[in-house]
Amino acid sequence: MASDAAEGASFIHNFGDGHDPTRWYKANMTYPSPHPAWLARHIHFFDDRVELELRRMRVGAKKLAGAEYQRRGLYSFGRVEVVMTPAPGSGTVSALFTHTSEQFGAQHDEIDIEFLGKDLNMVTANYFTDGEPYRYLEIPLPFDASKEVHLYAFDWEPDRIRWYVDGELMHTATHDDHPIPQHPSRIIIQLWSGQEEQFQWHGLPTFEDGTRAAYYCISYLKAGDTGPQCSDTFDPVAANAGRAAN
């Protein structure tokens, strides 16, 4: 596996060493969009995780402030894994996704894993190619994702995308269904809540102020590479037995 300091190289990150500005970027900005303000101080590091925070507060014209953390570099076909617990509360969106746009010299491509705090017995998925969406997927879960730690993943190949929960295949999309994204993309985690046009989707923003999503591990294994991934050491039974004990 190439050094993860190289752009587009495979990597695994557990966040225990805090923020590494050579590999990660803390968003700290506001701009005209349905998203909240992004505040770097809403990104919190612990020994085994990073937490993203969402608050009701005015920042410029925005009434909410969330958090966005981006992996530096652009990443292409491969497997993306995340071990996480999303934020509870109606109106919250906890996400891991790939994304590129005209800002990076390409049309809008995106592959999503998202959780809506109004219903955490499901994970949602979608993808966009040249700005056109595939279709919105609601994947049922046999647990409340905010109360248990689990591993979510997708395989991104030139002609298909496959989404997984704890290693179990949940959905496959193929080029025959909708063109698959082809552009190298950023890998991003976010916690946010939108404006009125998003309320029907993510629910009214009645979440508890300061709600947080926790990310324990993120890995990207470039197509054709071998190397460590979050799934190598993550055991959902053991992880959640430990949480119950605490």
| Domain CATH for 48 | 2.60.120.200
pLDDT averages per 10-residue partition of the chain, 246 residues? 70 95 96 91 98 97 96 97 99 97 78 98 96 93 98 99 98 96 96 92 96 98 97 95 68
Alpha helices (H) in the chain, listed in sequence order: 196-202, 236-245
Cα–Cα distance, 166 to 150 (Å, whole number): 6
119 in Cβ contact with 88 (< 8 Å): no
| Position 235 in a domain | yes
**Number of domains, the chain:** 1
Q: Tell me if 5 is assigned to some domain.
A: no
Asked if residue 195 belongs to a domain, the reply is yes
28 inside domain: yes
CA–CA distance, 180 with 14 (Å, rounded to integer)? 29
Tokens of 139: 């994947």
Q: Which domain holds residue 43?
A: 11-245
Entry pTM: 0.95
The half-sphere exposure of 55 on its side-chain side, counting CA atoms within 13 A, is: 12
Q: Which residues are catalytic?
A: 110, 114
Residue 29 included in any domain: yes
- Between CA 31 and CA 37 the distance in angstroms is 7
pLDDT of residue 7: 74
Cβ–Cβ under 8 Å, residues 78 and 220: yes
Judge whether 6 lies within some domain.
no
170-179: pLDDT as tens digits: 999 999 999 9
User: How confident is the model at residue 245, as a pLDDT?
Assistant: 56
Using alpha carbons, select from 111, 78, 97, 76 the residue that is nearest to residue 183.
76
Residue 167 CA to residue 10 CA, distance in Å, equals: 19
> Is residue 216, in this structure, part of any structural domain at all?
yes
Q: Is residue 204 part of a domain?
A: yes
